[in-house]
Structure 1
Amino acid sequence: MAWFLLKSTYTVDGLKGLVKDGGTKRAEVVRKMIEDAGGRMESMHFAFAEDDTYVLCELPDQKTVTGLAVAIGATGSLSVRITPVLTPAEVDEVTRMKTTYTPPGQ
């Protein structure tokens, strides 16, 4: 399982739907969608700024999260951007990895 931050922006039609349904119903719809895809929603927040929603979730893989983003985007109600995120423990693992790298030109 991997962690992702889904950032979305509502279209006019999406905002109309939000006004009709309310935030709690939207959060439950998103939670169910993520769970049906084999994942878990950690949190969902509304911002109405550069991005309108932030969803932190754990999903099986990149294909799964991309499939969700495509399905959401295809409705025309939201545009979604995916950001893979790491836990502190995963960053610890990454920083202990031994790799060799030569910068360009050296």
Structure 2
Amino acid sequence: MPKYLIQASYTAEGTKGLLREGGTGRRRAVDEAVASLGGTVEAMYFAFGEDDTVIIVDFPDAISMAAVSMMVTASGSLRTRATPLLTVEEIDEATSRQATFRPPSA
């Protein structure tokens, strides 16, 4: 299953919700949202600084990741970034593939 790193920052409204239900409540909500699209949460951490939470999830496909991303963004409670994560073996496979490419300067 494709794996993604999600980095999120709460808006003021989202922070109020976090204060009301705590970290455990938010983890439960994340688990439910991800599971509803066939995914699983590998890890979830709260942080401070630019990101308020960092989550690693597995989804069946990129469309599922896009669906949850749009749902979360539409709520207005969070600003998120999702980064696809690749295994060492996937990078090995990528390095063995040849692509035809002509740079703009050529």
TM-score of the aligned structures, taking structure 2 as reference length: 0.89
Runs of 4+ aligned structure 1 residues displaced above 2 Å come to 98-106
| Aligned mates of 1:103, 1:68 — CA distance in 2 | 35
| Aligned mates of 1:7, 1:95 — CA distance in 2 | 27
Q: Which amino acid aligns with 1:69?
A: S
Q: Report the CA distance between 1:61 and its aligned residue.
A: 1.8
The answer on 1:91 being equivalent to 2:86 is no
Deviation by residue 1:29-62 (Cα, 9 ceiling, x = unmatched): 1012111101111101111211111111111222
Question: 2:4 maps to what in 1?
Answer: 4
Q: Could you list the runs of 5+ residues in structure 1 that have no partner in the other structure?
A: none
Q: Which amino acid aligns with 2:79?
A: S
Q: Report the CA distance between 1:102 and its aligned residue.
A: 3.6
TM-score of the aligned structures, taking structure 1 as reference length: 0.89
Q: Could you list the runs of 5+ residues in structure 2 that have no partner in the other structure?
A: none
Question: 1:101 maps to what in 2?
Answer: 101
Question: 1:69 maps to what in 2?
Answer: 69
* 2:8 aligned counterpart, secondary structure: strand
- Percent of residue pairs bearing the same amino acid type: 40
RMSD (Å), alpha carbons: 1.4
